[in-house]
Amino acid sequence: MKKLQILGTGCPKCQQLTENTKAAAEALGLDYEIEKVTNLADITKFGVMMTPALAVDGQVKSSGKLLDVEAIKPLIQG
């Protein structure tokens, strides 16, 4: 099971990244869980300075930009 983490304080871009990530995982047929990391101390532990960010199984794949569904697919597949 893939652990997909959305790092951000809950702003509209963070919410959209969550929706786009869910759509990408569904399109790929992945077995996944989504966790929202909203605590700033927890976000900085990932080394992320700009949100929204996407982490897959604890590894940051993107930060500081809102990715669309097609851009997320290759990041969560591997």
User: CATH code at 70?
Assistant: 3.40.30.10
Nearest partner of 37 among 60, 20, 66, judged by Cα: 60
Nearest partner of 5 among 68, 74, 70, 42, judged by Cα: 42
Q: Is residue 78's pLDDT more than 90? A: no
- Arithmetic mean of pLDDT, 29-35: 97
pLDDT at 48: 95
Q: Is residue 20's pLDDT more than 90? A: yes
- Arithmetic mean of pLDDT, 3-11: 96
- Domain of residue 41 covers 2-77
Structural domains in the chain (count) = 1
Number of H helices, E strands in the chain: 3, 4
pLDDT at 72: 98
**Arithmetic mean of pLDDT over the chain:** 97
In the chain, pLDDT over 70 holds for what percent of residues? 100
Q: Are strands 32-37 and 2-7 parallel, antiparallel or unpaired?
A: parallel
Active site residues: 11, 14
